Amino acid sequence: MAKIAQRYLEVHPWQLKEIGFHEKRAVVSESLFSLSNEYMGVRGFFDEGYPKDTLIGSYFNGIYEIPKDIRRSHYKGISDKLHYMVNATNIFYTRLIFDDQVFVFDPKQISDYVRTLDFKTGESTRSYRIKDWVEITFKRILNMQTYQLSHQMIMIKPLQFNGQFRIEIGLDTDVKHWGQPGFWDVKAYDRGYTLAQTTTRQHVFSAYQLDCNVPYTSSYRYENRLNVETLSFDLNQEVIIEKNMVSLIDKKMVKTIVQFKEEAACLFEGASFEKTLKMNRDFYQTYWNEHDITIEGDPYNQQGIRFCLFQLVNTYQGVSEENNIGAKGLTGEAYSGHAFWDSETYCLPVYLFTNPKAAKNLLMFRYNTLNQARRRAKELDCRGACYPIATLNGDEACDLWQHASLQFQPTSAVAYAIWHYVKNTKDIYFLIHYGFEMLVEIARFFSSRGQYNHDQTKFGYYGVMGPDEFQMMVNHNAYTNLLGKESMKYFLEVYATYQHEPHVQQVMQSLDVKDDELDVMRDQVDKMYIPYDAKTKIYEQHEGFHDLPHIDIHAIPVTDFPLYAHWSYDRIYRNDMIKQPDVLMFMFLYNQRFDRETKKANYDYYEPKTIHESSLSPSIHSILANEIGYQQEALDFFGFATRMDIDDYNRNAKEGLHLTSIAAAWVNIVYGFGGLRSDGDILKLAPTCPKTWTNYAFSIHYFGSTIKVHVTHESITLTLDRALNEPIMIYDQIYHLDKGTTTLHVMDY
C-alpha cells in the first residue's frame, strides 16, 4: 500500500493531544479537534484568529444554501437542485489586544503549546504562552443533551505583562465558505445576539451571555455583520471569562425575534460551562459503559477506535428523522455536508446494533424524501424512485453527471438497509407502513432502468458506474446488477408475504401496480446477468474489466495522493486500478452467500488493484482479509481505517473528518475480528484475536439484550444483561443465551 501515516499527536487511550504547535498540520488539527452534538458542529479553529491557512467552520445540521450561479443544463437529467451545508455564524469570535496591539495566533511568539480533546467529557482545551507576557487558555464544550447550548472559557494569566489588556468577544456572521463570501443576511442584532437568514429563508439565531471573575468596562459595536463587545481590564490577576451561548435554528421562518429571545432566555437559565461539563461527563460515562471498544496490547488502535466512537456519537444519535449523516459530518465543507450511500451500508449497521431507533430514523429520512427520489427517477427517464448520490434535503445535489446519472448505489442501499433492518429487528410495522412503499418504487426504478441484451437472454444495466468510481459508463457492473436484482427480489418477496395487509393493498392501488408489472420484474430477476467464471470463481467487476491495461499501484509516488488533485481526470479511467471495493463490497453485504474459496479468489484478484482512494475501502478489505486468514493484512487495514484521519493517510483530513469511514471502523472490528454476520437467518459471531493483541472487547444490542463480547486468544466470554430470546450462532453452533456469562473456546475461523 503506497499510503503511509503522518503521525504528530501523542498516543493516549482517552484523548487527542498535541504537544507543541505543528504549523504544517494546523488545518488538519482543526478537523481532528472538531466538536459536534448532531445539532451543530464547530471545527477546532483558532478563537483568536490565525493569519495563515485556516478554515473557520461552524455548521448546523440541515441548514443549507443554494449556489447563486446555478445554470440549468440543456442536457436533461443534469440536476439543478444544488445545495450545500453552509458555514454559519462564528460564535467563538475572539480578539486579544495588548495595549493597542491586536494579537492573532503567531507561532513565532508563542511557547508551551498544548491542545487536548477529552473523549470522556467532550471538552477541548488549548493553551500557550505569548512571549513572557501572559499564559492563555481557551476551552470549548458543546452540550450533548441540551443541543442548543455551547460554551467558551478564556483564561488569561499575567506573567510579565503590565499594560492595558482588552478582549473582543462576539458573533461573526461575516463568514466565508470555501474562502468565498457567505450568503447570510443579518435580520436583527443587538448586544449579545444576531439573527441571520440564508437565501433559502432559514434562520439561525445566535446569542451569548458573559460572566467574568474580575471587574471590567465594556463597549459595543456592530459593523459588517460583526457583532462584538470589547472588555477592558487591569491585568494584575488571572482573568477568567465564561461565554455561554445559545444557537437556535428555524428552517421554516415561523419564529419571531421575540420568540427567539424568549427561548434563549429559558436555555440560559442556570446554564454554565461547569454544568455542561458535568452533564457531558454523565452522558459519556453512560455511552462508554454501553459502547466502548477496548483493545489491550495496541495503544495506537485503542486511541484510534475510541476517537472514531467519540466522533460517531457526536455526529449522530438519531435525534431527528429529518437529518442524515454527511460524509464529513459537521466537521468541514468537503462533500458540501452531503449524505451518500455510505449511510445505509456503513453507518446503519453500527446503529442497528448499538441504537436501533437511530437506525430506523436513518431510514425514515429516506421515506420522508421519497417524493424527491420519484422526481429524480423521472428526470432520468425512469419510473419509481431514484435516490440521490449526494443530498442534504432529499434533492440530487451533485451536478457531475457521471455520478448523479450513472450511480445507483444509494437506491439499492436503501432497499438493502430496509432488508437488513427488518431482518435484525423484526419491525414489521415499519416494513408495512414505510418500507414497503419505498421498496415498490425502488423495484420500479431498477426494472425500468435495466435493459435486455439483443436476444433477450440477459438483463442488466448499461452505461453505469459502480462503487469503484474509477470505471465509468460500463456495462453489467456486477455490484449494480446484483443489488438491482436483490432490490426487485426483496420487493416481490415482501409483497407475496404481506399482500393481504390493508396498507400493502392501499399502496399497490395508489401506485397502480398491476400483475403484469410484477411478471416483468420476475423475468428480469431470473435473467439478471452477473459476470462470473465458475472455473476461477471470480466475478468480473464489469464486462471487459479483465482486458483493461494493468497498472502497478505500488509504484505510484505517495506525493501523487489524492489522485484527483494530481492526475488528469481521464487518466484515472484508463487502467484496472480500483478506487474502492466493488465486487468485494457485495461479498461483504451478502457475506454468507459466498463460500470461503470464492471470497479468497476475488480478494486475491482485486486487492492488489485497489488504491484505497476512498476512506471506505480499508475496513471492507480488513474484514474479508481476516475471514480468509490474512491476519496481518487484516490488522494493517484495520489500523488504516481507525487512524484514517488521526494519521491523515489520504492527505485530506484538513477538509474534515471521514465520518462514514469512522463508522466503518466500528464495522471493521465487530464484523472483522468479532466475526459478526447479520445477513443470514441467524445472527452469527465468530471472533478471532490478532496475534499482537492481548484481548479486546465490544458490545452489541440485539432484540433488547446487551451482549458484551470479550475475546482472548483462548476464549470468548459473552455477558448478557438479560436473556436473549433469539437464537445466535457462535462459530457453527446455535445457542440460546441466558442472562449472565457464557465462556467458550476460540476456534479457527
How do residues 11-28 score in pLDDT, each as one tens digit?
999 999 999 999 999 999
Quote the percentage of the chain above a pLDDT of 70.
99
* DSSP assignment of 163-228: SEEEEEEEEE---EETTEE---EEEEEETTEEEEE-TT--EEEEEEEEEESS--EEEEEEETTEEE
In the sheet that 58-60 helps form, which strands lie side by side, from edge to edge? 35-36, 40-42, 58-60
What integer pLDDT is reported at residue 534 of this predicted model?
97
Question: Do 722 and 748 contact (CB within 8 A), yes or no?
Answer: no
Per-residue confidence band for 700, with pLDDT thresholds at 50, 70 and 90? very high
Per-residue confidence band for 2, with pLDDT thresholds at 50, 70 and 90? low
Average pLDDT over residues 223-241: 94
CA distance 130 to 45: 18
What integer pLDDT is reported at residue 163 of this predicted model?
80
Alpha carbon distances (Å) from 137 to 116, 427, 490, 718 = 11, 50, 57, 45
- pLDDT(472) > 80: yes
pLDDT, mean over the chain: 95
Burial category of 734 from C-beta neighbours within 10 Å (exposed 0-12, middle 13-18, buried 19 and up): exposed
- pLDDT(1) > 70: no
- pLDDT(304) > 90: yes
Query: Which of 168, 333, 344, 469 is the catalytic position?
Result: 469
Closest CA to 472 of 381, 344, 569, 352: 569
Alpha carbon distances (Å) from 158 to 20, 134, 383, 448, 603 = 21, 4, 69, 72, 61
Per-residue confidence band for 77, with pLDDT thresholds at 50, 70 and 90? confident
Q: Are strands 728-730 and 683-685 parallel, antiparallel or unpaired?
A: parallel
Q: What's the first-to-final CA gap in the chain, in angstroms?
A: 26
Specify the higher pLDDT residue, 80 or 209: 209
What integer pLDDT is reported at residue 493 of this predicted model?
98
Q: Is the bond preceding 349 in cis, omega lying within 30 degrees of 0? A: no
Alpha carbon distances (Å) from 351 to 355, 515, 614, 651, 718 = 5, 37, 22, 28, 20
What integer pLDDT is reported at residue 649 of this predicted model?
80
Phi-psi region of 99 (alpha: psi -120 to 50; beta: other; left: phi over 0): left
The DSSP call for residue 541 is S
For residue 438, give the H/E element and its range.
Answer: helix 436-449
Average pLDDT over residues 623-633: 97
What integer pLDDT is reported at residue 72 of this predicted model?
77
How do residues 394-434 score in pLDDT, each as one tens digit?
999 998 999 999 999 999 999 999 999 999 999 999 999 99
How do residues 371-391 score in pLDDT, each as one tens digit?
999 999 999 999 999 999 999
CA 234 to chain centre: 46
What integer pLDDT is reported at residue 748 of this predicted model?
64
What integer pLDDT is reported at residue 10 of this predicted model?
97
CA distance 87 to 333: 8
How many residues make up the chain in this entry? 749
In the sheet that 695-702 helps form, which strands lie side by side, from edge to edge? 294-296, 695-702, 705-712, 715-720, 740-745
Which cell is 82 given? 444544488
Pick from 114-118, 322-326, 353-357, 707-711: least confident: 322-326
Average pLDDT over residues 326-335: 94
How do residues 532-560 score in pLDDT, each as one tens digit?
999 999 999 999 999 999 999 999 998 88
Per-residue confidence band for 128, with pLDDT thresholds at 50, 70 and 90? very high
- pLDDT(234) > 90: no
How do residues 244-292 score in pLDDT, each as one tens digit?
999 999 998 899 999 999 999 999 999 999 999 999 999 999 999 999 9
493 is catalytic: no
Average pLDDT over residues 132-160: 96
